Amino acid sequence: MWKKKIFLVIIAISTISLLLHHGGHLTTMDAFHLGCPALHSHPYSGLKPKHSNMVFLKTHKTASSTMQNLLFRFAERNNLTVALPIQACGHQFCYPRSFTTHSVHQHTLPPNIVTNHMRFNKAELKRLMPNDTIYVTILREPGSMFESLFSYYNQYCQSFKRVPNGSLEAFLDEPWRYYKPEENYSMYARNTLTYDLGGDKDRPAKDVSYAKAFVAQVERVFSLVMISEYFDESLVLLRHLLSWDLDDILYVKLNMRTPSSKQGLTDDLRKKIRAWNSLDAQLYDHFNASLWRQISAVGPACVAREVRLLREAQEKLMKRCFGEGMPLVRSAAEIKNKELRPWQPSGKVDIVGYDLPVNITQSFSSQDQELCLRLIMPEVQYTKMLLRSQL
């Protein structure tokens, strides 16, 4: 009899503890089936505090600008300090040079979050960041990423600029005819992910031991490697890793090209891109598989449910900021508010952004207007604004 009483007491305590841990919301019991913590939008979603010390290695053409905006907003809501570049470095940490603490603005020290473009340097970051810092980055499928790089940096990277008629096919047919490893911005023309992560972009593909060692090194440092093609699933894993709320991972896609600025890829072109960017391809293949192992560990049904809740919450936020319709993408020339005009890399590529509807903003509270403004603010303007506020 006494064993039965002890068992009932344990069950009661466990139930109360579970409800307390999940904010006492009985209506969300289905959300933590398969060990999946419930998503809440209020600040008391659990007993475990949100983790706030983080380095997000912002890689190129991987949806990293969208992720950076999310982190900027998280930092502002939680009164955190974001490390920002010195004026001489623009909005990047003196990229493409390897990161050093000298490139960090003195008025953004000591930081909680680092997220502007850099070439990764763990030793220097370790000097800068707290011991409990979590490292996260994002990768993209090599074919679509290289097509985007070729289009976006066509007027900056000499390896691309010297190709007749700006032909991606011509470059991939004879890459060594156009590619010069020591030129400025050559990192955009080969193994860009590897370079951003601090690796040797020009290590021969036959050097299998280097590729394996580099992948292992990245895996040791980064607690989560997100995958651009599975952005929402990656955000769910990030939420679990950092004990964040649903509101912390809401976003709008930023820094997008118009369809006319994109080129379709044949299977043959994709193979050539992978062969030319073999190190990036190995990174992507490894961490794409790793992402799905992590999803399997959390529970595929759980992750799918959280993705659905995330998208429903984003739809509500879009209606709040843009009315009943979804936000319409606009060219930079069409955007009236200059703080919302995205940077244009060249006249050959059109990067689109958003504007807030006038009829909606007139009825906004100042708090709502600031939220919606930041949600769609491009990287360069947001970086400048953050620096002003942190000064």
Listed by start position, the domains of the chain span: 54-147+184-323+380-390
Q: Which pair of tokens denotes residue 267? A: 């299977």
What is the model's pLDDT at position 235? 98
The C-alpha atoms of residue 7 and residue 355 are separated, in whole angstroms, by 59
Tell me the pTM.
0.88
Tell me if 57 sits within 8 A of 134, measured CB to CB.
Answer: no
CA–CA distances in Å: residue 229 to residues 144, 236, 388 = 10, 14, 34
Q: Which pair of tokens denotes residue 128? A: 């800068």
Three-state DSSP string of the chain = CHHHHHHHHHHHHHHHHHHHHCCCCHHHHHHHHHHCCCCCCCCCCCCCCCCCCEEEECCCCCCHHHHHHHHHHHHHHCCCCEECECHHHCCCCCCCCECCHHHECHHHCCCCEECCCCECCHHHHHHHCCCCCEEEEEECCHHHHHHHHHHHCCCCCHHHHCCHHHCHHHHHHCHHHHCCCCCCCHHHCCCHHHHHCCCCCCCCCCCHHHHHHHHHHHHHHCCEEEEHHHHHHHHHHHHHHHCCCHHHHCCCCCCEECHHHCCCCCHHHHHHHHHHCHHHHHHHHHHHHHHHHHHHHHCHHHHHHHHHHHHHHHHHHHHHHHCCCCCCCECHHHCCCHHHCCCCCECCECEEECCCCHHHHCCCCHHHHHHHHHHCCCHHHHHHHHHHHHC
CA atoms within 13 A on the CB side of 323: 12
Q: Which pair of tokens denotes residue 306? A: 């959280």
What is the model's pLDDT at position 140? 98
* Cis ω for the linkage preceding 110 (within 30 of 0): yes
CATH code for the domain defined by 54-147+184-323+380-390: 3.40.50
The C-alpha atoms of residue 290 and residue 222 are separated, in whole angstroms, by 12
Phi, psi angles (nearest 5°) of residue 351: -95, 125
The residue ranges of the chain whose pLDDT is under 70 are 1-47, 325-326, 359-364
